[in-house]
Structure 1
Amino acid sequence: MSARAAILGCSGPVLTRAEARFFASSDPWGFILFARNVETPAQVRALVRDLRGAVGREAPVLIDQEGGRVARLTPPHWTGWDNAESFLARFAGPRERVAAMRLRYHVIGTELALLGIDVNCAPMVDIARPETHVAIRQRLYGAAPDAVATLGRAVADGLAAGGVLPVLKHVPGHGRTPLDSHLSLPVVDAPRDLLEAEDFAPFRALADLPLGMTAHIVYAALDAERPATTSPAVLAAIRADIGFRGALMSDDLSMGALSGTLDARAAAAIAAGCDLALHCNGDADEMRAVMGAAPRLAGAALARTDAALAARAALQPVPIDVPAALQQIDDLARGVPVA
């Protein structure tokens, strides 16, 4: 029997008995960790083991470990990083930036894999613009679609080298709004031809990645009423115009951009074409509502999630000396080429 079409969080650093029973009965496809779930490497490994034990399989375990303002793993146990915007500003040219980003995410992937975490919610290939909300802009790779796509590929390759699957986000692009979708619903009024030429371009270049995450944003040229996550028209464009072939998860359903009950949000996301409903905050009542609306994976959604699991199984991690990699990054920033 297939898992249910959802990814869930949990409440703290230790899986409670009630959570274990709930996960065993509801059977989500995967789990996601946040800072509230993280204390020490041994504790995280135990939590990952217990989450998988609850569902009786090697369920994917996700995290948002971009570095900078979005980092669930922090020093002293894990490497600390600047926001992407500040990090990339250290390097003189595109070759140095690409090499540095690949190294950065090879280190991040290696640190995640040592904990049993096998999916990271990156790369983030939204296009930076003057109006982009600061909470998003600091995390972005630049304003030129081709350069952003190249850096996004470096992120994905670095994670894979570390033994971790990437998640392409936020499809089809978060850069044109001054609002934070964690708090309110942004609306993008750009015409479709401009969206396709600019915003969609990096996602199109990375459409082969195994997993993607939608944006809680209204794109008026595609659907004036519903955000991408719950819009059949936008999700059809992600498949047809962007060509994304992987399993598509919603962004967090508890975010302020969405309205309605959690079961209605989950049902709308699945009905629109999301393969997986993502719920992050670990609230038991909200999780029950989401799982009440999440069907067993079937058809194309099952095929896409199975393909993601196959991509996970096919990963061939490349060992990396973390201190040496960090020195290489510093060398690149000083203009010393990396062999």
Structure 2
Amino acid sequence: MRHRFGRRVCITVISVGALLSSPAVPAVAEGAVPASAANGSGPGYSDDATLRGKIISRLQHMTVQEKVGQLFVVEVYGQDASTVSPTMAARNRALYGVDTPAQVIDKYKPGGVIYFDSRRGPDNVQDPRQIATLSNGLQTAALSQRQPIPLLISTDQEGGAVVFRLVAPATAMPGNMALGAGRSVTDAHRSAEVIGTELAAVGINQNYAPVADVNVNPANPVIGVRSVGEDPELVSNMVAAQVNGYHDGGVATVAKHFPGHGDTATDSHFGLPEVTHTREQLEAIDLPPFRAAIAQGVDTIMTAHVVLRSVDPSGAPATMSQPILTGLLREEMGYDGLIVTDALDMQGATSTYPPNVAPVEAFKAGADQLVLAPQMDVAYTAVLDAVGSGEISMRRLDESVYRILRLKMTRGLFKDPFVNVELAAKVVGASDHLRDEQLITDHTTTLVKNDSDVLPLTRDPQRVLVTGWGVTTTTTLGNAIGRRGQTVTVLETGTTPSQTRINQVVADAAHSDLVVVSTMNAASVNPITGLPTASAAAQQALVKALLATGKPVVVSGMRNPYDISYFTEAPTYLATYGYTAASMESLTRVLFGEVNPVGKLPVTIPHANGSGALYPFGHGLRYDG
């Protein structure tokens, strides 16, 4: 195939625009079709035999440039595909040299787009009509190219209050650890189905969920409540149910973060963590949920920027590790679906691999799609250059593009990638979705400790002080308690309450009959010193000061459930695993005995000194014994 690349010997001096406009149309490399397609088998791809001819025909008519474009998943700035917004256009120009999202599609012909909210910057998601209109506009741009290939439009809508993009009126289903506390695969399936249905309605056809990590490290700074829990069997069962639920909702699924991010003390957004599990621990703890997802036909698996020397002694992050992605995932585990990288602009990738190296190394390791490659022109040219030089073979390129096209055909995107804008507004936040949101959330709240029998509360009027972390959280909780006939004062203290603020809260507690205090990761420790972080220490001081008043105090951990390990003298403690409005309503229902707490800890709560279990996995109190 040397003749196909003969005029690209000096490819680095050609502009990206010129590369994209080249008319070269190479044939499909011999042997490029993945194994499952060759025999019509493979997890989740029973249709390979019927789709194979269509996919190969597409491949045969694609240029190398178009194939390389399919490998990339990009972010675009703006709420409309073609409108030139000065602020958003400036961001698009800085990244891509063009003004609008549609122009980004026209320039690179990427295989996918990922939506973000305003917290990251792209501000793609405002309301159902706007999101659906943006999706339709992007698909129109994709289908207007020389080779009309629809987009995978994705987002991170994991459920819960940590990693989500769509807000109200979208339904805020509970997060993974909350579902783990509920123990119901039916609830896990329905939760994913609702999320999937609402995403599909606005044109998002791929959700970067479920999280398949097993959180065995209480100090994990990035996974925590994003995981179902610490038990591989429980995580596997819930992940399998979610894969099916998302499919029933109409979206493709992405199990993440392979080979497992549940035992790390470093956030891969800001560094490169190392998982020290032996091969035996990996098989027993980390891999079962991914095997379960594969068995249920998961469409995609996302890599982790973690070092795993028991599989790859070189110390390369899994995203760039051929022994992990190709050797373990593809060859040993038999997975032939799509592999996507975690974001390549995270420090776990960029700290070691420059922009022209990371995408090439990830692709060579076995990834099919490259998510959020920094310096897109550099990344695109680097991959195209590697194909031209033979560093990446045409066979390898065609294998990945085959998988990408197969997923798009399997999900029906070639037939019709568009959505009904008006219908989207009716589907998102539908009444039955909101009903099930609250019902499922009511199954998750865990009563960990009730030594003083303060709970359940009666409806007798009391003066209740609601304090602790979270402006919206404390206000929402205070309003819910107030609706039960209580006189409520709300004094929010922030993540790191000052001593002055603690004194103010203690003074108000003296005039209250009951105190309800929320905490947010009050068990967090500095990974270097092993001591509580400043935020955690301040929250612990707040709780201890309130307990010292002698007033009845109810403590609720609003995120990771481990907080009580640092104030074991608290007589009453609950875990909600999240702080959505439904979580606060569920907590209030449990406080007043309207709902019998049925949640069970999906993780062990250790003693603060690490000497053993303060509360074991599966612990949970009920009012009826």
Instruction: Calculate the TM-score normalised by the size of structure 1.
Output: 0.87
Residue matched to 2:185: 98
Matched residue SS, 1:213: strand
Residue matched to 1:299: 398
Q: Rate the CA distance shift 1:158–1:335 in 2: closer, same or farther, 3 A.
A: farther
Q: How far apart are 1:178 and its partner, in Å?
A: 1.0
Q: Rate the CA distance shift 1:184–1:142 in 2: closer, same or farther, 3 A.
A: same
Match 1:32 to one of 99, 107, 114? 114
Q: How far apart are 1:332 and its partner, in Å?
A: 5.0
Q: How far apart are 1:197 and its partner, in Å?
A: 2.5
Residue matched to 1:212: 301
CA contact (8 A) 2:178 2:441 kept: no
Q: One-letter code of the match for 1:62?
A: S
CA contact (8 A) 1:131 1:177 kept: no
Q: How far apart are 1:204 and its partner, in Å?
A: 1.5
Match 2:166 to one of 62, 73, 92? 73
CA RMSD of aligned residues (A): 2.6
Q: How far apart are 1:328 and its partner, in Å?
A: 4.4
Residue matched to 2:433: 322
Deviations 1:92-124 (CA, angstroms, capped at 9, x unpaired): xx3xx2111111111111110110111000111
Match 1:59 to one of 151, 166, 170? 151
CA contact (8 A) 2:257 2:304 kept: yes
Matched residue SS, 1:222: coil
Q: How far apart are 1:325 and its partner, in Å?
A: 2.8
Residue matched to 2:590: none
Q: One-letter code of the match for 2:172?
A: G
Residue matched to 1:233: 323
Q: Distance in 2 between matches of 1:330 and 1:108?
A: 14
Q: One-letter code of the match for 2:165?
A: R
Deviations 1:132-162 (CA, angstroms, capped at 9, x unpaired): 5133111101111121111001111111111
CA contact (8 A) 2:210 2:242 kept: yes
Q: How far apart are 1:291 and its partner, in Å?
A: 2.3
Q: Distance in 1 between matches of 2:232 and 2:441?
A: 26
CA contact (8 A) 1:204 1:243 kept: no
Deviations 1:233-260 (CA, angstroms, capped at 9, x unpaired): 1112111233322110110000011133
Residue matched to 2:574: none
Q: Rate the CA distance shift 1:329–1:12 in 2: closer, same or farther, 3 A.
A: same
Match 1:153 to one of 223, 240, 246? 240
Q: One-letter code of the match for 1:13?
A: Q
Counterparts of residues 131-142 of structure 1 (less than 5 Å): 131-142=218-229
1:8 corresponds to 2:99: no
CA contact (8 A) 2:75 2:115 kept: yes
Residue matched to 2:343: 252
Deviations 1:4-37 (CA, angstroms, capped at 9, x unpaired): 2111111232345444333213111111001121
Q: One-letter code of the match for 2:306?
A: I
Residue matched to 1:123: 210
Q: Distance in 2 between matches of 1:115 and 1:255?
A: 28
Residue matched to 1:22: 104
Matched residue SS, 2:347: coil
Q: How far apart are 1:326 and its partner, in Å?
A: 3.0
Matched residue SS, 1:65: coil
CA contact (8 A) 1:184 1:257 kept: yes
Q: How far apart are 1:220 and its partner, in Å?
A: 1.0
Matched residue SS, 1:128: coil
Q: How far apart are 1:42 and its partner, in Å?
A: 1.6
Match 1:286 to one of 375, 392, 409? 375
Q: Distance in 1 between matches of 2:200 and 2:383?
A: 28
Q: One-letter code of the match for 1:83?
A: G
Matched residue SS, 1:310: helix
Residue matched to 2:273: 186
CA contact (8 A) 1:187 1:219 kept: yes
Matched residue SS, 1:167: strand
Q: One-letter code of the match for 1:322?
A: H
- Specify which structure has the bigger relative contact order, considering alpha-carbon pairs within 8 angstroms and separated by 6 or more residues: 1
Matched residue SS, 1:28: coil
Q: Rate the CA distance shift 1:294–1:218 in 2: closer, same or farther, 3 A.
A: same
Q: How far apart are 1:58 and its partner, in Å?
A: 2.2
Q: Rate the CA distance shift 1:241–1:100 in 2: closer, same or farther, 3 A.
A: same
Instruction: Calculate the TM-score normalised by the size of structure 2.
Output: 0.49
Matched residue SS, 2:178: helix
Greater radius of gyration (CA): 2
Q: How far apart are 1:38 and its partner, in Å?
A: 1.2
Match 1:83 to one of 175, 180, 183? 175
Q: Distance in 2 between matches of 1:140 and 1:303?
A: 31
Residue matched to 1:143: 230
Aligned length: 324
In structure 1, stretches of 5+ residues that fail to align are none
Matched residue SS, 2:257: strand
Q: Distance in 1 between matches of 2:441 and 2:164?
A: 21
Q: Distance in 2 between matches of 1:153 and 1:63?
A: 20
Q: Rate the CA distance shift 1:138–1:294 in 2: closer, same or farther, 3 A.
A: same
CA contact (8 A) 2:179 2:228 kept: no
1:275 corresponds to 2:368: yes
CA contact (8 A) 1:126 1:173 kept: yes
Matched residue SS, 1:313: coil
Q: One-letter code of the match for 1:14?
A: D
